[in-house]
Amino acid sequence: MEYDNIPGPDGVEIRLPRTDDYRTCSECGGDCSPDPDAGGDGIGARIAFVCPVHGVNAIVDPFEDLR
């Protein structure tokens, strides 16, 4: 799988799968914004993709393999 790197908190790069599925709102098909702060564990390991209209669409965990 290919990945995109995006800047995360504390200067850490975060890898994301290079696919649009996780960031396309299932309700309106709109582009969701990545929100590292909404992931929940406070270290930026999970990233929520948030539709401005419909809220959280998906939560991506780039380090799932490492847990």
Both tokens of 34, joined, read 């990545």
* Amino acid in the structure at residue 22: Y
Residues of this chain, 10-39, that bind Zn ion according to CB under 5 A:
25, 27-28, 30
Closest distance of CB 60 from Zn ion, Å:
17
Kindly indicate which of the ranges 9-17, 35-43, 47-55, 59-67 contains the residues binding Zn ion, using the contact rule CB under 5 A. Answer: 47-55
Number of residues that bind Zn ion (CB under 5 A): 7
Both tokens of 66, joined, read 């490492």
Count the Cβ atoms, other than its own, within 10 Å of residue 29: 8
Both tokens of 29, joined, read 């098909």
**Any contact of residue 54 with Zn ion (CB under 5 A)?**
yes
